Amino acid sequence: MVKTLTKHGNSHAIVIEKAILELLNIGPDTLLNVSTDGTKLTIEPVTDPARQEKFKTALKKTNRRYGKTLKKLAE
């Protein structure tokens, strides 16, 4: 499958079809690990529960501390 990037604010995004998301059991709240070896991009669901919890805790802390500022930057 060949994909192109889509402009999303000041960034770019890859749109993943619903059938692929369903096949991999990925939803809007699924944490994804994005990595590269310098030539390939790999995106996979995070499967380590401890890592998921650590990420969620860090995200909550960041949103509490910088949420208003990040929202203003997004406008």
Q: What is the CATH classification number for the domain harbouring 47?
A: 2.10.260
- The residue among 28, 3, 23 whose CA lies nearest residue 15 is 3
Structure tokens at 55: 């990420």
* Domain presence at residue 14: yes
Contacts of 70 (CB under 8 A, 6+ apart): 63
Say how many domains are in the chain. 1
* Domain presence at residue 35: yes
Q: What is the pTM of this model?
A: 0.56
* Domain presence at residue 1: no
Give the model confidence (pLDDT) of 23-65 as tens digits. Answer: 998 999 888 999 999 999 999 988 878 877 888 899 999 999 9
Residues of the domain holding 39: 6-74
Cβ atoms of 3 and 15 within 8 Å: the answer is yes
pLDDT of residue 43: 92
